[in-house]
A and B are shown apart, each in its own frame.
Chain A
Amino acid sequence: MRVLSKRFAYVLVVAGVLTTSFAFAETGVTQDTIKVGVISDLTGPAAIGGIGMVDGLTSFFNELNEKGGVHGRKIQAIVEDCAYSPAKAVTAAKKLMTSDQIFAFVSPWGTAPTTALFPIAEKEKIPIAPACSLSTSMYDPLKKYVFALGTNYVDQSILIVEYILNDLKAKNPKIALFCQDDDWGEDHKKGLEIARKKYNLPPIAVESYKYDAVDFSSQVINLMREKPDFVILASAIKSGAMFLKEAQKLQWKPTFIGSNTLGLIATLQLAGELGQGLMVLNIFAMPDEDIPGMQRLVAASKKYFGDKWMPAPEKIHPYYVYGWLNAMVFAEGAKRAGKDLTRDGLVNAMESIQNFDPEGIMGPISYSPTSHGTPGFARMTKGDVVAKKFIPITGWRAVGK
C-alpha cells in the first residue's frame, strides 16, 4: 500500500511537471484541451430538462472532438449537479474553478442558479458563454462575461401578441396571462405591457401560481370573470395542463396560447385531448424537421446515446436541443478567438458573432459589445395529439416584423 501510494505520488509529480511545461497561458487551456464547466440540474425539480441539456451539449462536443476539436484542442466538459439550487451552483462553480481549473462555464442551467454565478464571473473574469436561461436578466443590465442564447420571455410575449393581431386578425383583443409567481412570470408581464402600449390594447388580466401549487381553480375562475379572448399560458407543463383541465371543467373556451415551456410532448400527454390544436410558441426547430442542423443533431444523439433520447426524432427534448446550441455557440466563439485562447479573447470573439446561422435550428445569432442576448425569433406551432408532436404553422418571426 505504501509502495503503491509512493509510486502514485511519483506519477503525480511527473504528470504535474509535464502539464505545467506544456501548459498554456490561460487557465483551463492546454496544448490539446479546453476544459469547460457545466452546472446543471441532474436530480432536482427540472432534472428532465437539465439532463437533456447536458446530453445535447456533450454530444455536440463529442462530435466536434472527433473532427479535431477547436484549433487542435478537444473540448472537455466537466459536469456538476446543482439540483436547481443557487447555493449548490456556487459550490459547484468553486469546485470547477479550483479543483478542475476550468476555462469557462458553458450552459449553466436555470435562471436562479445562473444568477448566483454572476458575481463569480465578474470577480474572476471567467466567461459564462452562453447561459441556459431565457430570462432577460442574463444580459440586461449587460455583464461583460455573461452571454445568453434563445428568445427571451419578454420577446416571446410580444411575438404571441403579434401572432394574435397579424395572423388571427383579432380586433382589439382582450388578453390574459397565467404565469409563475417569479422572474419568469415578470418577464412575460413586461413583454405584454410593451405589446399592449405599442398596439394600444385593453388591460391585460394576470393570474399567477406558486411553483408547488396543486390547485388552480381560483386562478381559472378569476381569469374567467375577466372574459378574455386569449389566454397566454406561461407555465410549467403540469400547471399548464391542469389549468386547461380546470377551464374545460368550467366550460370556459377562450383561445389558449402557450409559451415555449409548454412545447413538449409531455404537455400533449398530460393534457390529453385538450392538447389537440393547442398553440404553442416554439423557439427552436422541431427535431424531426428536414433541416441539416437537425439531421446532424439526431445522428449524433443516435451515435452517442443510442435510444435514450431518440426512439423517434420527435422525442428529442427541446432542452437537448438547447444544450447542443449552447455548445455550438461556445465552439464558434472559441474558434473565432483563435489559437491563443484567453478568457477576454473569448468574450471579444463572442461579441464579434454576427448573423451566425446555427444550421437552421433557430434564428440567426448575433452578439455585440452592447448586447449579450440573441435577437428574438420564434415560430407558432400547433399540438397534434395523434402524431404526438407540435407542428409549425408559421415561419420564423422576429419581434416587430
Chain B
Amino acid sequence: MESVSIKIFFQLVLSGVIVGSIYGLIALGFVLIYKATDVVNFAQGELMMLGAYFCYYLIVAFQIPFVPAFLMTLLFSAVLGLLIEFLILRPMIGKHVFSVIMVTVGLATLLRSLVGLFWGHDTYRFPAPFSETTIHVLGVSILPVELTTALAGLGLFVLFYLFFKFSNLGLAMRATAFDQKSAFLMGISVRKIFSLSWILASVVASIGGIFLASLSSLQSNMSMIGLKVFPAVVLGGMDSIAGAILGGIIVGLTENLAGGYLSKMFGSGVKELSAFFILLVILMIRPYGLFGKKEILRL
C-alpha cells in the first residue's frame, strides 16, 4: 500500500514537470519579448499554434521528415517574428503601452483566423516521430514524447541562460532591457535588439507548439494555452528567464498535486484554481514575482 502511494506521488510529480515544461516554454516567449521591449505579447499562444500548424503542413503536404520539417519551421518562425516586429510593432514604438498591447491582441485574432482559413477547425493527430511505447523507470511511467519535452525545456533554459550570461548579443539585450537610453548611447542598436527578441520569442513559441501538438493534438484552439500560462509568467517574474521556466514547472506541479490530492475534497476544479492560489500567495510576499526585478518606488 505504502509503495503504491509513493508511486502515485512520483507519477503526479513527473506529469506535473512535463506539463510544466510546456508552460515554461510558452512563458519563455512572453519573457523574451517583455524583457527587451516592455511589451506583453498577447499573440504568444497564436505564434505557438502557427508554428505547430506550419510544421504539420510541411510533414503532411510535402512528405518532409520530422527533423528537417522541424528546422524549417524554426526558420519560418524566425522570419515571421522579424516581420511582425518590423511591420506591426516598430510603428508602435513610443505609443501608449495600452495601444501596443491592443495591437498584439489584434495580431492574435488575425493569426487565429488565418490558421482557421488555411487549415480549418478539425482536430488533427500530429505526425511526431516519437514511439508510443511507454518507458517504465522506478515504478513511474513516461512516454518518449514527454521525456523529450521535458529535456527540450531544460535544454532551452540552459541555452538561454548561457546566451544572456556570456554572449555579447545576450548582454546587449539585457542592457537594453535595463536601460534603453544608455544602451543606445553605448552603441547598441536597440532596433536590432527588438527584432532579435521577437525572433527568439517566435522560435521558442513554435518549439513549444510542436511539443504541445505532439503531446495532445493539433487544434485551432490550442492557442488558448497562451493565456493559461499567464500565472506562470507572473509567478516567475515578467522579466526573468529562469523565472519563466521555473514558474511553468511550479504551476504544472501545483496543478497536478492539487488535482491528485485535493480534488476529492474540493472537486476537480481545484486543479486549475490551485495555480492562481499559489500566484496570489507569492505575489503577496514578492509582488514582482519569484525572480523578477525589484523596482523600488519611494513615496
B189 within 8 A of A: no
**Contact between B12 and A238, CB atoms less than 8 A apart:** no
Q: How large is the interface on B (under 10, 10 to 19, 20 to 34, 35 or more residues)?
A: 35 or more
**Contact between A266 and B122, CB atoms less than 8 A apart:** yes
**Contact between A221 and B12, CB atoms less than 8 A apart:** yes
Contacts of A242 in B (CB 8 A): 215-217
Q: Among A207, A225, A238, which residue has its beta carbon within 8 angstroms of that of B219?
A: A238
* Cα separation A206 to B263 with both chains bound (whole Å): 10
* Cα separation A384 to B221 with both chains bound (whole Å): 27
Contacts of B8 in A (CB 8 A): 221, 225
**Contact between A217 and B217, CB atoms less than 8 A apart:** no
**Number of cross-chain contacts by CB at 8 Å:** 106
Contacts of B116 in A (CB 8 A): 43, 47
**Contact between A51 and B260, CB atoms less than 8 A apart:** no
**Contact between A238 and B217, CB atoms less than 8 A apart:** yes
A241 within 8 A of B: yes
Closest-by-CB residue of B relative to A179 is B268
**Contacts A208-B269, A241-B217, A242-B216 given: A270-B123 contact, CB under 8 Å?**
yes
A369 within 8 A of B: no
* Cα separation A215 to B259 with both chains bound (whole Å): 11
* Mask: chain A, 209-251; 1 = CB below 8 Å from B; 0 = not: 1101111011101100100000000000110011001001111
**Contact between A212 and B221, CB atoms less than 8 A apart:** yes
Q: Among A48, A51, A212, A215, which residue has its beta carbon within 8 angstroms of that of B252?
A: A215
Q: Which of the listed residues B16, B225, B268 has the most CB atoms from chain A within 10 Å of its own CB?
A: B268
Contacts of B125 in A (CB 8 A): 269-270, 272
Contacts of B143 in A (CB 8 A): 245, 249
Q: Among B134, B256, B267, which residue has its beta carbon within 8 angstroms of that of A215?
A: B256
A122 within 8 A of B: no
**Contact between A215 and B217, CB atoms less than 8 A apart:** no
Contacts of A269 in B (CB 8 A): 124-125
* Cα separation A251 to B143 with both chains bound (whole Å): 12
* Cα separation A181 to B264 with both chains bound (whole Å): 15
B212 within 8 A of A: yes
* Cα separation A275 to B11 with both chains bound (whole Å): 25
Closest-by-CB residue of A relative to B9 is A221
B220 within 8 A of A: yes
Contacts of B132 in A (CB 8 A): 272
Q: Among A48, A218, A270, which residue has its beta carbon within 8 angstroms of that of B263?
A: A218
Closest-by-CB residue of A relative to B219 is A238
Q: List 29 A-B contacts (CB under 8 A).
A: A43-B113, A43-B121, A47-B116, A47-B121, A48-B121, A181-B269, A208-B269, A210-B271, A212-B224, A214-B19, A215-B18, A215-B252, A215-B255, A217-B15, A217-B19, A217-B259, A218-B15, A218-B255, A218-B259, A219-B259, A222-B259, A222-B264, A238-B216, A245-B143, A248-B134, A266-B124, A269-B124, A269-B125, A272-B132
Other A-B pairs beyond A43-B121, A217-B11, A221-B8, 19, CB < 8 Å: A45-B220, A45-B221, A46-B121, A47-B220, A48-B122, A51-B121, A208-B269, A209-B268, A213-B271, A214-B212, A215-B15, A215-B256, A217-B256, A221-B11, A221-B12, A225-B8, A249-B134, A249-B143, A250-B11
